């Protein structure tokens, strides 16, 4: 086990009706909030009315900024920063999924950052201060409700870059599984692929002696797969959505990756797809992950046998580890297929013409500063291109 620093202070308020007390929850922390959200779905569902009524009842003044899109845009972040400064906002309440929360975090640090906030994403410099962010989660997927991470897309530069800081951990997050009932089945599938990837990126490691986190990862993955199929069958299954929502937070609050070298190559490779083709992050991950596994598993056969046996339930001869691993990967691919996720880049409408460009961007080769990605196996741009080609 490696040394680690674990800090996950976000308070999670979980269950039916929790969103109704958002005003009371925020009252000790805010006089004037920015209410940040996407489009009309929270108005249609009635959530907007519930939240604004609760804020008003608790005497919290607020201004609004809507219009967050998937792969949240830098331009809207800049608008939000100006708005918060002008209106002297002291807290941001993000009502939505990971895109809304990531956008809120970018605004939260932008308010105090002296310069253009994109610099922080590009240079990964340390920030000293950010507004507190609270969230009401409407899509379990990104884990942004407990993490200190944010990913923003610079639509002019066609770049999608992540940034993380303990100062961006939300103050509190409300999670009512009933709010997930109206999600389209694609969103469920994308979300599950993303949550599973958050575990995979931590799980697949060359670090040894990681019993506890191995077990936590495996429990989280099995919970996600079992309950994804249940929610896919019945989109109003409260218990299934409960497991998915809670598992999504555990997947990305840091815990299951403590003390282990992490990977993150699949996220890196996927960000390039999203940046150029604006595809759903989860769909990209579901395609890339099995391809990545096939490409890298020989570098740590034991780890992948463990995955096949403990997570995918393969019962096989350990004297033939390749067969066990291939069966594990096939079962994972099969699971994604049952969730309705595409298996190839072409199934996502991505052709072959820009694969090399994306591969070169993913490692920095395109900018003349190649750094391999991936913890379990170092991937250079030619490796990334091979993986893209494996799943094209």
Q: Which residues bind a second copy (CB under 8 A)?
A: 1-9, 11-16, 18, 208-209, 211-216, 218-220, 222-223, 226-227, 239, 242-243, 246-247, 250, 255, 258-259
- DSSP assignment string, 361-375: HHTTGGGT----B-S
Q: Which is nearer to a second copy, 6 or 367 (CB)?
A: 6
Q: Are 231 and 241 contacting, i.e. CB atoms less than 8 angstroms apart?
A: yes
Q: How far is Cα 190 from Cα 339, in angstroms, rounded to an integer? A: 9
Tokens in use for 7?
């800090």
CB of 277 to a second copy, least distance (A): 33
Supply angle C-alpha 54, 57, 58, rounded to 5: 90
CB of 241 to a second copy, least distance (A): 10
CB of 175 to a second copy, least distance (A): 10
CB of 39 to a second copy, least distance (A): 28
14 closest CA partner among 174, 136, 133: 174
Q: How far is Cα 347 from Cα 336, in angstroms, rounded to an integer? A: 13
**In Å, how far are 27, 64, 135, 163, 169 from 91, measured between CA atoms?**
11, 12, 11, 20, 13
Q: Which is nearer to a second copy, 201 or 237 (CB)?
A: 237
Q: Which is nearer to a second copy, 239 or 352 (CB)?
A: 239
Q: Which is nearer to a second copy, 239 or 334 (CB)?
A: 239
Q: How far is Cα 184 from Cα 343, in angstroms, rounded to an integer? A: 19
**In Å, how far are 70, 297, 317, 359, 374 from 362, measured between CA atoms?**
20, 20, 37, 5, 11
- Which residues fall within 8 angstroms of residue 198, CB to CB, at 6 or more apart? 143, 248, 251, 252
CB of 20 to a second copy, least distance (A): 12
Beta-ladder partners of 37: 95
Q: Which is nearer to a second copy, 85 or 129 (CB)?
A: 129
CB of 219 to a second copy, least distance (A): 3
Q: How far is Cα 116 from Cα 118, in angstroms, rounded to an integer? A: 6
CB of 163 to a second copy, least distance (A): 20
312 closest CA partner among 280, 341, 290, 296: 290
Q: Which is nearer to a second copy, 157 or 209 (CB)?
A: 209
Q: Which is nearer to a second copy, 219 or 261 (CB)?
A: 219
CB of 391 to a second copy, least distance (A): 30
Q: Which is nearer to a second copy, 5 or 353 (CB)?
A: 5
């Amino acid at each position: 086990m490696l040394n680690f620093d674990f800090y996950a202070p976000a308070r999670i308020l979980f269950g039916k009706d929790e969103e109704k007390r958002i005003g009371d929850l925020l009252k000790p922390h805010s006089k004037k909030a920015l209410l940040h959200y996407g489009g009309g779905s929270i108005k249609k569902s009635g959530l907007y009315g519930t939240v604004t009524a609760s804020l008003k009842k608790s005497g919290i003044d607020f201004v609004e900024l809507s219009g967050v899109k998937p792969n949240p845009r830098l331009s809207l972040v800049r608008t939000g920063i100006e708005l918060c400064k002008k209106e002297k906002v002291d807290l941001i309440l993000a009502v939505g999924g990971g895109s809304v929360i990531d956008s809120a975090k970018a605004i939260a640090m932008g308010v105090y950052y002296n310069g253009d906030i994109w610099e922080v994403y590009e240079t990964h410099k340390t920030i000293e201060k950010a507004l507190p962010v609270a969230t009401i989660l409407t899509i379990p997927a990104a884990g942004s409700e407990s993490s200190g991470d944010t990913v923003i897309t610079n639509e002019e530069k066609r770049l999608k870059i992540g940034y993380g800081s303990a100062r961006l951990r939300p103050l509190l997050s409300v999670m009512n599984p009933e709010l997930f009932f109206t999600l389209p089945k694609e969103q469920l599938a994308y979300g599950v692929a993303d949550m599973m990837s958050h575990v995979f990126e931590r799980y697949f490691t060359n670090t040894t002696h990681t019993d506890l986190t191995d077990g936590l990862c495996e429990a989280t993955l099995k919970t996600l797969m079992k309950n994804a199929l249940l929610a896919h069958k019945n989109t109003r299954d409260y218990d299934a959505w409960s497991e998915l929502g809670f598992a999504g937070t555990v997947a990305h609050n840091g815990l299951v990756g403590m003390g282990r070298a992490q990977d993150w190559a699949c996220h890196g490779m996927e960000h390039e797809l999203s940046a150029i083709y604006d595809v759903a992050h989860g769909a990209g991950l579901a395609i890339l992950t099995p391809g990545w596994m096939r490409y890298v598993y020989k570098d740590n056969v034991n780890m992948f046998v463990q995955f096949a046996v403990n997570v995918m339930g393969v019962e096989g001869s350990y004297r033939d580890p390749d067969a066990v691993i291939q069966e594990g990967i096939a079962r994972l691919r099969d699971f994604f297929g049952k969730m309705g996720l595409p298996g190839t880049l072409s199934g996502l409408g991505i052709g072959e013409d820009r694969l090399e460009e994306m591969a070169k961007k993913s490692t920095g080769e395109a900018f003349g500063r190649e750094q391999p990605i991936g913890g379990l196996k170092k991937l250079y741009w030619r490796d990334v291109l091979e993986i893209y080609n494996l799943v094209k």
